[in-house]
Amino acid sequence: MSVSESHRPLIGLTMYLEPAQWGAWSIPAALIPHWYLDLFERAGADLVLLAPGSRAEVVDRLDGLAIAGGADVDARLYGAEPDATADAPRESRDASELALYKRARERNIPVLGICRGLQIMAVAHGGSLHQNLPDVSDFVHRVRPGEFVDHDASFEPGSLIARTLGVTSAVVNSSHHQAVADAGDLVITGRAPDGTVEVCEDPSAPFVVGVQWHPEHPDRRVTDAPLLQAFVAASRAV
């Protein structure tokens, strides 16, 4: 049966709230890179875009939740003072994504966190972040904002990520200066060569996975297709 003929699950995808310019306008806007739309369309899902400020109850209408990448998570949410290198807080986005995630867990629907999304998951589980990776590692995870760095990652044998991708190591892409320091009660199942957390999971759930890399990037479409297909399949089964 083709994707078009089968049930297409309804995935909620979180959005940015950032300054944007188009036509005569230069104002704050809720937006999402089109890469994400392509990613989930190719995987066979229908999308609902969840702007910052979305109420947690919207999750009750969804089959799955995807938390997108973006700006740094506010360090005050895990009891730390923001580092000088941190982005200005996106308070409405932080609050809504934490609430959406917690509601998704209450409903036991599949969750996929991407980059910042993984970090939101860790914070929701009582964890914390390294606010500036160059302070704790010489390994390069980002040369400059907007550019990606490829590097190895290793996965725990038997973990959901290893079973889904069919490997215990892979090349992933990075563009981040923050990362999970403490995963709370999530399980760390993937790391970069310097020990930086690349994957967290909740083995008690059918599908709750956060990855630090960017499967939405066009160069990752073949490599990460099994991850997206597994997420969509889990959402279809809800």
* Catalytic annotation, pick one of 125, 141, 176, 214: 214
Burial (0-12, 13-18, 19+ Cβ within 10 Å), 182: middle
Report the CATH number that the domain containing residue 15 is assigned in CATH. Answer: 3.40.50.880
Q: Does residue 5 belong to any structural domain of this protein?
A: no
Q: How confident is the model at residue 158 (pLDDT cuts 50, 70, 90)?
A: very high
Looking at residue 7, its pLDDT comes to: 87
Domain count across the chain: 1
Q: Evaluate whether residue 51 is within a structural domain.
A: yes
Find the domain containing 63 and state its range.
Answer: 10-236
In the predicted model, what is the mean pLDDT of residues 206-225?
A: 97
Q: In sequence order, which residues have a C-beta less than 8 Å from that of residue 206 and are 6 or more positions away?
A: 108, 110, 234, 237
Is residue 129 assigned to a domain?
yes
Residue 3: inside a domain: no
Give the tens place of pLDDT for each residue, 93-113. 999 999 999 999 999 999 999
Residue 3 confidence (pLDDT) above 80: no
pLDDT at 2 over 60: no
Q: Choosing from 200, 201, 216, 217, which is the catalytic residue? A: 216
Is residue 30 in a domain?
A: yes
Catalytic residue among 115, 130, 198, 201: 115
> Does a structural domain hold residue 197?
yes
pTM assigned to the model? 0.96
Q: Which pLDDT score is estimated for 4?
A: 45
115 in active site: yes
CA 218 to chain centre: 16
Is 39 a member of any domain? yes
- Whether 175 is in a domain gets the answer yes
Over pLDDT 90: what percentage of the chain? 96
Q: Cα–chain-centroid distance for residue 46?
A: 18
